[in-house]
Structure 1
Amino acid sequence: MNIGQEVLELLKEEITDVQYNRYIKQLTYDAKKSGGDLAIFYAPNALISNWIKSKYSEKIAHLFEIKSGSKVSVKITLKNSTDSKSKKQKNEQKQHSLLNPSHTFDNFMVGGSNQFAYAAVKSVSEAAGQVYNPLFIYGGVGLGKTHLMQAAGNVFQNQGKSVIYTSVEQFLNDFIRHVRNKTMPSFQEKYRKCDVLLIDDIQFLSNKEGIQEEFFHTFEALKGNGKQIILTADKHPKKIGGLEKRLQSRFEWGLVADIQPPELETKIAIIKKKCEINKVKLSNDIINYIATVIESNVREIEGILSKLHAYSQLMHIDIDLAFTKNVLKDQLQENRANLTLDTITNNVAKDLNIKPTEIRSKGRSKNLVYARRISIYLCRELTQNTMPQLAQYFGMKDHTAISHTLKKINELMKNDEDFKVKIEELTNKITSAS
């Protein structure tokens, strides 16, 4: 072990493991060129070099003096580029981007709810900085925004472009750290020199003036140099409160695309694809049941499949519909805890273009009877209300009228496939919106 390595080992005892592994461990001591009053270390990139210079150059020099007995000047620089070095830096850059390699366009399930966003991101991935810049994708939690964004990032990265993927929280933490360490030029070089910037959850810029100012200049620098920017949020730019007008307008410069909760057919396709990937065998009845009862959050699907698979393996039980319902009953109760009779009736009324008050009236027209039956059935299925409570809500004589309606509905579902599909679609819409 040379003296440079010995000094770094001494420094390791005085700093955190995170700082040592992330920065100091990356240094290489040049024993041949060092000597006398000069100690030369090589860093793999400018970010690490600048960080160590600002934080530990003096400390390293002090440890050299303790170890050797003489004062030295510490030089931390970048090694001359070589093919192997370039390859290593590319690998480090790839790791730094934090992209999930499993997020690809091929395994993203496309349906009516996300088709426009998918097409937009795919177009951008084929011509970075030339179309739809910035691309702004918005929608609820777990609908695939990050998957699409990272799918494009993986395409760019495979093309040899430098890609930064981060969340607003990580961007903010990075910003604060560089401000404290007085190394803002390194921060600006990192984010303004990349080819592609992907940022998740941009809505969290709200009411953060300092970081909004910095992000505005980062945006301007990248856009001005024809670099691609892709952003995601939970809502349209116009609806993000606490956002500077100039940022809001720039987010709309390129293209704004939304992702809606998946319709029943897309949910079924997603479940089948996840089953294939995770090697879980489910019958069509079970798949249809899961698609009907789960909320709009697509991430929930994998959790459900994992839960079913684990129960089946641990309890040595084949997965059937009854088993599935039993395993998921607690989860479904939690998902539907916030559903009310008004919520369900209003959704049915909206779908069938009827006023909610008409559904609860004494009207006997064919359309009203149809809507009332569906509302009663869904209220019974999706809430904990008793039949007497439902009778009171719908203005019926007593619980026997509710019982008769439920019996009629069950007969229709057995004999009328279109009616059954309508019930499933409404169940899906109501539980997705809850």
Structure 2
Amino acid sequence: MLNKILEELKVLIGENQYKNYFEILQINESKNNEIILNAPNQFIAKHIQTKYQNILEKIAEKTNSKKYKITIQVNNEKINKPQETQPIVTKKQISILNQSLTFDNFIVGQSNEFAYRICKTITDENKFGKDFNPIFIYSNTGLGKTHLLHASGHECLELGKKVIYKTSKGFKKDYYNAILTNKFDSFNSEYKDCDLLLIDDIQFLGTTDKMQEEFFHIFNDIIERKGQIIITSDVAPKNLNGIEDRLKSRFNKGVLANISVPDIETKKAIIKKKSLVYDIELNDEMINTIANYIGENVRDLEGIINYIYAFQSIRKQKITLDDLKNQIKEYIKENQSNIEIEDIFDIVSSELNVKTSEIKSSSKKQEIVKAKRIVIFLTKELISNSVSQIATHFQMKDHSAISKHIKKINEMICLDDDFRSLVEHLKNKIINSKNKDY
């Protein structure tokens, strides 16, 4: 039974954290529903008490339907569970970082492992600001980019680093406020003097030459001082619309880390961890149903868990599999039922900087053919019975021409990870644009 509890723990906290803290313990189960953890030193023992004891207790109770006592020892001597105290944090730390987004509660899977490991690496004092700089993380919405930014920030604050976290819109706001209040020197020194600069959603930085020039100089100053920069985006640097080439070049010189759609096992691990946080009991069939039917966005998984929590809290009863399936059907239907082909044209045109009239034309230019194929592919994906609409908009005489375009784009998706990410990004943006509460 103890092995089952520990396997569940490994899934929830990640294999890396499990190896770091639990594989070095001597772990025993007594006859009195007690799990004894014998740590090699006080540091490991205190760390486990603070971050993992409550999780372990919940897993043990859930697995065996009864409460377990967790005892932590150092060299076979029992230590007392510390009283819960509020961490001392400055107003600056509170304002820039979400306290719940840490490496400990980030679920690592094949789809995000490289991005996770590269961010973890720079939190080592010997690696900070050296080999992997800048780090550029790109993926569709809701796959964990922001989580990794905040987690990196927390770790670097513990190293005594000065951390600045901003969305690109936040950076723009600071820039314009500095101009309006005539405090440009203060703006410059604050950014250029930081040790770790975290910029979220760089794709929204905008097309203002002066502001991009200022960001370019800040970027160079931090790199030259051996500071560290981590940037996130919905797309790879080469696909950034409106960003100067010299900035794209700087981004490409760093480490590019793509987070792809989570595989089924990673999604299951996320569901299990979130359900544990909310104290929700889900059987394997329910977990499999959620993982199979809820797609690419991790926030969607969280949304379903929030729904289950609300359902059980309000009705005072456990959710059934049928209730869960009905909610998932409504969720999928709500996201995609009101999408029209004009929505697809509008977003692809805007994101790829190609006019709608050009996409509909017979032009053979590479970027226009690429946009046309994407529109055809996404229309077929997102709108039911859409073949006739595609034929009408592109003045195609038969279905074979449509099939050729779809076949070609499927080949490109298989061969080019960046292109696949771009198509996934556009698909998510189209769905999100029709769902204001998404």
TM-score, structure 2 as length reference = 0.56
Asked whether the 8 Å contact 1:312–1:318 carries over to 2, the reply is: yes
CA distance in 2, matches of 1:308, 1:205: 37
Aligned to 2:262: 262
SS of corresponding position for 2:110: coil
Aligned to 2:106: 108
| Structure 1 residue 236, shift from structure 2 partner | 0.6
CA distance in 1, matches of 2:229, 2:254: 10
Aligned to 1:201: 201
Q: CA RMSD in A?
A: 2.4
| Structure 1 residue 217, shift from structure 2 partner | 0.7
Give the partner amino acid of 1:113.
S
Between stretches 107-116 and 310-319, larger displacement belongs to 310-319
Deviations 1:286-308, CA, capped at 9 Å, x for gaps: 11111111121101112111111
Aligned to 1:319: 319
Where does 1:321-340 land on structure 2 (aligned, <5 Å)? 321-337=321-337
Aligned to 1:95: 94
CA distance in 1, matches of 2:299, 2:170: 22
Q: Which has the larger radius of gyration?
A: 1
Deviations 1:224-248, CA, capped at 9 Å, x for gaps: 1110000000011011022111111
Give the partner amino acid of 1:301.
L
Asked whether the 8 Å contact 1:123–1:131 carries over to 2, the reply is: no
| Structure 1 residue 316, shift from structure 2 partner | 2.7
| Structure 1 residue 131, shift from structure 2 partner | 2.3
Give the partner amino acid of 2:319.
I
CA distance in 1, matches of 2:193, 2:223: 11
Deviations 1:98-134, CA, capped at 9 Å, x for gaps: 1112111121111111111111111122222022110
CA distance in 2, matches of 1:242, 1:105: 32
Asked whether the 8 Å contact 1:168–1:201 carries over to 2, the reply is: yes
SS of corresponding position for 1:235: coil
Asked whether the 8 Å contact 1:206–1:240 carries over to 2, the reply is: no
Aligned to 1:125: 123
Aligned to 1:419: none
Where does 1:62-211 land on structure 2 (aligned, <5 Å)? 91-96=90-95, 98-126=96-124, 127-211=127-211
Aligned to 2:273: 273
CA distance in 1, matches of 2:135, 2:194: 16
Distance 1:326 1:316, change over 3 A: farther
Where does 1:216-365 land on structure 2 (aligned, <5 Å)? 216-337=216-337
Distance 1:224 1:90, change over 3 A: farther
Give the length in aligned residue pairs: 260
SS of corresponding position for 1:110: coil
Aligned to 2:214: 214
CA distance in 1, matches of 2:232, 2:194: 18
CA distance in 1, matches of 2:277, 2:123: 25
| Structure 1 residue 327, shift from structure 2 partner | 2.7
Asked whether the 8 Å contact 2:278–2:309 carries over to 1, the reply is: no
| Structure 1 residue 336, shift from structure 2 partner | 4.3
Structure 2 unaligned residues grouped into runs of 5+? 1-87, 341-381, 386-398, 400-423, 432-438
Distance 1:160 1:308, change over 3 A: same
CA distance in 1, matches of 2:214, 2:115: 28
Give the partner amino acid of 1:242.
G
Deviations 1:383-405, CA, capped at 9 Å, x for gaps: 978xxxxxxxx9xxxxxxxxxxx
Where does 1:365-380 land on structure 2 (aligned, <5 Å)? none
| Structure 1 residue 339, shift from structure 2 partner | 9.3
CA distance in 1, matches of 2:212, 2:269: 40
SS of corresponding position for 2:211: helix
| Structure 1 residue 207, shift from structure 2 partner | 1.6
Structure 1 unaligned residues grouped into runs of 5+? 1-88, 341-381, 386-393, 395-428
Asked whether the 8 Å contact 1:122–1:152 carries over to 2, the reply is: yes
